[in-house]
Amino acid sequence: MSVTADQLAEIDRLRAEMQPTRRATAPALEEILYQAWPVLDHGFVRVIDYMGDDGAVVQAARVSYGRGTRQVSEDAGLIRYLMRHRHSTPFEMCEIKFHVKLPIFVARQWIRHRTANVNEYSARYSVLDREFYLPAPGQLCAQASDNRQGRGDALSPAQSARVLGMLKADSENAYAHYEEMLNQREDGTPLDPGQDGLARELARINLSLNYYTQWYWKIDLHNLLHFLSLRVDAHAQYEIRVYAEAMLDMVKRWVPQVHAAFLEYRLGGAELSASGLRVVRRLLAGEALTQEASGMNKREWRELMTTLGRDQ
């Protein structure tokens, strides 16, 4: 993880300050507020601010003035009911803001989730750091044979070493040309004091997608859970999945009852189509059913059998 000296100083300053408040807080999240959690080789995620807690979800659902005399178990039951029946509005009453450092290609995937407020580091205004992502050898895999956007088996050690060598050499060469076009070293001194550098907004276009960017990302709890349901899934690309996994741990600290319901009904549950439900009912009735007689195509059948834990 690469956190600059200025960022470390800011983190220490913020964590040293204590703010009196009458608002609800999440003690477990307060413990890690502002801290940077490492992700990949140079990336991180940290919580900058948040609003609401489990109680805010319950309060919004009941439209009450306070917590009242309800038991914790009743609140948990209501949250589970809301999650189970997809009553999403109460979850929108909580918000959280992250500071994320991530490779540009991950950011391009991430930005597809258009339900957040984003402010990204500007390479038109500032110079990007010499930091680029290099996958671990175990993450260098061939194209999957059954998935056009996924990975298959790992490359051989010799192939992995060759690919890593190319990635590193190309990235370093791109940054060297970036500095040359800017006429500026990483420390800010000019390469040639007698020459003008190319505008930053143009010099940046030569950098590859594995270079790191940073942004502040603010989102409500409902849309954050939707993001996580897609990005912690085993089919998500590894490099975005590890960010989502770190954020899911932070959600557990923030809203533990919502987190438990999310694991139960979203990540740990399954959704059946009408055809799939009919198949399950026929199987429960004792019918020896085949894919051909199910009314489902081969892929749907295979996915249903995998969900049910049955042999193909």
- Active site amino acids: 231
**284-306 burial: b if 16+ Cβ within 10 Å, else e:** eeeeebebeebebeeebbeebbe
Strands (E), the chain: 37-39, 43-51, 95-103, 117-120, 141-143, 151-154, 212-220
- Please say whether the beta carbons of 151 and 144 come within 8 A: yes
Helix (H) or strand (E) holding 304: helix 298-308
How far apart, in whole angstroms, are the C-alpha atoms of residue 253 and residue 259? 9
SS3 45: strand
How far apart, in whole angstroms, are the C-alpha atoms of residue 71 and residue 65? 16
Helix (H) or strand (E) holding 109: helix 104-110
How far apart, in whole angstroms, are the C-alpha atoms of residue 262 and residue 79? 10
- Angle 88-227-230 (CA atoms, 0-180°, nearest 5)? 110
Residue 120 token pair: 């990204």
Torsion of CA 255, 257, 263, 266, to 10 degrees: -90
Give residue 267's Cα distance to chain centre.
15
Residue 34 token pair: 């502002």
